[in-house]
Amino acid sequence: MELASLLQSLQNYPSLGSLGLTRLTAFLELCKIAKPAIEASIMDRRTAPETLSLNILTILAGVLQEYLSVIKDCWKPFRREVWASSGGATPSQTTIDLYNIHALDRGTSYQHFYPPVHVCQIFGCEHYWESDDITRLAEPVTHKATLFTLHNRALPVFTTSTYCRGKNYFLQSFFGR
């Protein structure tokens, strides 16, 4: 995002002025952490959603200790920036712990494992799709798990599988993305 766009956002959303640059940067970092959970909650992953779900809003507001309205105002001008980003720096252990404090009670976590694909892989199935940008599978089932890492120690995580009703099989992710 260019500086001119940032200044325009401050004019359009005065509540952003109370955040400061450090907290705005933290918001963007947290959105990158939450991006897989945001993607899992929408059908079309090609563009960022206009609004965030209450679940994600609550997590971000809790970590940043801000009102939901401020988080909504932050999302509007920066959603395209978040959506265009991929990966980035690994968050600090403090950021991961703070995120999980607010996320675990809401059924998600840092490093939540989602199925690697969102469409049926069997050609001819009604849920088969050439591209993986549109979610065609449903009935997500989420379980608690523990991820053992060298850098971040054991982390409480969630793993989600989806179901293809057309061919009666589950898509799961066991060991990463």
Summarize pLDDT for 43-94 with one digit per residue, the tens.
898 999 999 999 999 999 999 999 999 999 999 989 998 999 876 668 999 9
Q: How many structural domains compose the chain?
A: 2
For 48-60, the DSSP string reads: --SS--HHHHHHH
| Domain final residue, candidates 55, 74, 107 | 107
Rounded Cα distance between 127 and 123, Å, is 9
Residue with tokens 């720096």: 89
Last residue of a domain, one of 76, 107, 138: 107
Domain that holds residue 152: 111-177
DSSP three-state, residue 20: helix
Reported as type and span, the H/E element at residue 143 is strand 138-148
* Percentage of residues of the chain with pLDDT beyond 70: 86
- H helix or E strand, kind and range, residue 27: helix 20-40
In this predicted structure, what is the pLDDT of residue 177? 47
Are residues 13 and 50 in contact, defined by beta-carbon separation less than 8 angstroms?
no
Residues 10 and 90 in one domain: yes
What pLDDT does residue 168 have?
67
Cβ contact 158:141 at 8 Å? no
- pTM here is 0.83
Residues 96 and 115 in one domain: no
Domain boundary among 53, 81, 107: 107
* 58 shares a domain with 10: yes
Mean pLDDT of 19-29: 88
